[in-house]
Every structure is written in structure tokens, then in C-alpha cells.
């Protein structure tokens, strides 16, 4: 069975600082991994996805994530936080060939001016 664990339910960073949101996965087969962002009172929007083509994945709004099989991790990073990045971020996993996504519990990012 596949699952993801997001370390830290709340993360605060200063504007301009590095953003690092952690996600570790558990899967018995090579997974597909996703990061979604949810702004207040909105649905989830796809940030980026890993589908085994490249270990470093670039997404929208300057975010990127690196798939590390040895660490079973898929951490999300952004070099310089903007106020507009304040939102909740979800990591999700699916098995290759399957459509169901399993989501982590989310990390709320606060950006301090």
C-alpha cells in the first residue's frame, strides 16, 4: 500500500527565504508523486508531478522537487518565498498504472513579511 508523510503541519518562513516542505513516501512499487497547493477557500491546484522521467521536477510559481529513491523523499523547495506563496501544500502518491491518489495531511506555509 502506498502512503505519504508530510513532516510539519505548519512551516513559517520570512519573505525571501528558502522554502522547504518535506514529503516522504511509502510504496511497494515505483510511485508517481505530486505536489498540490490549496489557497484559502479554493480547490487544489497541481504544482508539479514526478512520473519517473527526471528526478528533479520543476513546477509552477518557481517551485521544484527532487525525487530521492534512497531516502524515499520528494521534498518541495523554492529559493525565495513570496507573500503569495502562503497556502496549504499537499503531497500525494499513486502507483504507476493507477489513478487513485493518496494525500498527505498537508503543510500550511506562512510567509512573514
Q: By the criterion CB under 8 A, which residues form the site for other proteins?
A: 9, 32, 34, 36, 41-46, 49, 51, 90, 94, 96-106
Q: Are 42 and 71 in contact (CB under 8 A)?
A: no
Phi, psi torsion values for 40, nearest 5 degrees:
-50, 130
Distances (CA, A) of 42 to 38, 65, 72, 82: 6, 23, 30, 19
Judged by beta carbon, residue 14 or residue 52, the one nearer other proteins is 52
For residue 16, the minimal CB distance to other proteins (Å) is 29
Judged by beta carbon, residue 14 or residue 105, the one nearer other proteins is 105
For residue 97, the minimal CB distance to other proteins (Å) is 5
For residue 68, the minimal CB distance to other proteins (Å) is 20
Where do we find the cell 518565498?
81
- The DSSP symbol for 41 reads T
Amino acid at each position: 500500500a502506498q502512503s505519504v508523510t508530510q513532516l510539519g503541519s505548519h512551516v513559517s518562513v520570512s519573505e525571501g527565504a528558502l522554502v522547504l516542505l518535506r514529503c516522504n513516501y511509502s510504496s511497494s512499487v515505483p510511485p508517481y508523486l505530486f505536489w498540490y497547493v490549496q489557497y484559502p477557500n479554493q480547490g487544489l491546484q497541481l504544482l508539479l508531478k514526478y512520473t519517473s522521467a527526471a528526478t528533479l521536477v520543476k513546477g509552477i510559481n518557481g517551485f521544484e522537487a527532487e525525487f530521492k529513491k534512497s531516502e524515499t523523499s520528494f521534498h518541495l523547495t523554492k529559493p525565495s518565498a513570496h507573500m503569495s506563496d502562503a497556502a496549504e501544500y499537499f503531497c500525494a502518491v499513486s502507483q504507476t498504472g493507477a489513478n487513485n491518489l493518496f494525500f498527505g495531511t498537508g503543510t500550511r506555509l506562512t510567509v512573514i513579511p
